[in-house]
Amino acid sequence: MNQPRTARSLDDLVAAGVLAPEAAAGLARVADRYAIAVTPYLLERIRDGGEPFARQYLPDPGETDAAPEERPDPIGDGAHMPVKGIVHRYPDRVLLKLHHACPVYCRFCFRREMVGPGGDALSKDELAAALDYVRAREEVWEVILTGGDPLALSARRLAEVVGVLDAIGHVGVIRLHSRVPLADPGRIDADLVSALRASDTAVWVAVHCNHPAELTAEAAAALARLADAGIPLLGQTVLLRGVNDDPAVLEALFRGLVRNRVKPYYLHHPDLAPGTARFRLDLEEGQALMRAIRGRLSGVCQPTYVLDIPGGHGKAPIGPVWLHGGSAQGDGIEVEDWRGRRHAYPPEATRVAIDRKDGLE
């Protein structure tokens, strides 16, 4: 019996029943430019659920229409790459991009010009040079494995990299960013979990999840295998028009993550990757969504809404403002509560008491 296989072409998507033949006919230019991969597990989910879940994974004609503000390297990785595979943007942490392959290629990916079957993987010598870079810089406290999806590597190779990093005394945290627990949850098996164990370094996994429909029983079991092994889990979400740009969807998503022991970490404003304009909201729309969920969700469910500044300048928090007015001396400050009501700070009665104590009356 033939095992289901990953769809890697328009014909594969048609054969899997997730793309109409007439739709595929207009997507040849997209397929020529950007990689396609949808795992058998996700194909089944798409057949069951359709939009908006499928919007993340299925090609769209608009992908070849780049807006003037879009750029191949939207967050400026290339400006901070001292050696191949290393991005050193912040003083205390680096990205280590081991390869450029993923089990699924998301249609909004900010590295869509770099990832794919033909993308570079570090050779043995290049990996050694990247690890030497980390070893030589004691300010590097955290190494973030990204790429390409690090959990797409074999357990053996992953264990080797984790082992080398674990032996570098000044590295305190190894963080892996992955879509695998949601795109191919069966891959999170005992061997892979074992490969993530370190003796002297904290290992964290950041899981990329954008819609509550991704938190299936299979995905929950994969996350549990990681959490039960003592690996702390973070959630990363991209705010996507037509996928999760609704307070009720975000509420269900963030509660679902926390229920699965995943702390929502970042809500990313979508980057200016070529051909992704259909996914982007205005900043004001994103802030309004964050404002809408503020009083509806526990603080443990609240991510930080961030924008990666184009050009390589790093992330900036861009959530709504809750503090209004005020002078240089701090007078006239108002704090807005989750209902939209404003309150003086400090309260008037407290201010009068302080003035009396200081002999100002």
Catalytically active residues, by annotation: 89-90, 93, 102, 106, 109, 111, 271, 308, 315
Q: Which phi and psi (to 5°) does residue 360 adopt?
A: -90, -5
Rounded to the nearest 5 percent, the helix, strand and coil shares of the chain are: 35, 15, 45
Contacts of 241 (CB under 8 A, 6+ apart): 278, 279, 280, 281
Q: Helix (H, G, I), strand (E, B), or coil: what is residue 52?
A: coil
For residue 83, give the amino acid letter.
V
Q: In whole angstroms, how far apart are CA 4 and each of 59, 183, 206, 271, 319?
A: 20, 14, 27, 33, 43
Residue 68 contacts residue 86 (beta carbons within 8 Å): no
Contacts of 17 (CB under 8 A, 6+ apart): 47
Residue 270 contacts residue 240 (beta carbons within 8 Å): yes
Using the structure block, give the residue that is written with the tokens 């992955």: 178
DSSP for 299-339, please give it.
GGGPPEEEEE-TTT--EEE-PPP-EEE--TTSTTEEEE-TT
Q: At what angle do helices 283-294 and 247-259 cross, to 10 degrees?
A: 60
Q: How far apart are CA 313 and CA 308, in angstroms?
A: 7
Q: How far apart are CA 126 and CA 123, in angstroms?
A: 5
Distance of CA 110 to the CA centre of its chain: 10
Q: Is the peptide bond before 317 cis (omega within 30 degrees of 0)?
A: no
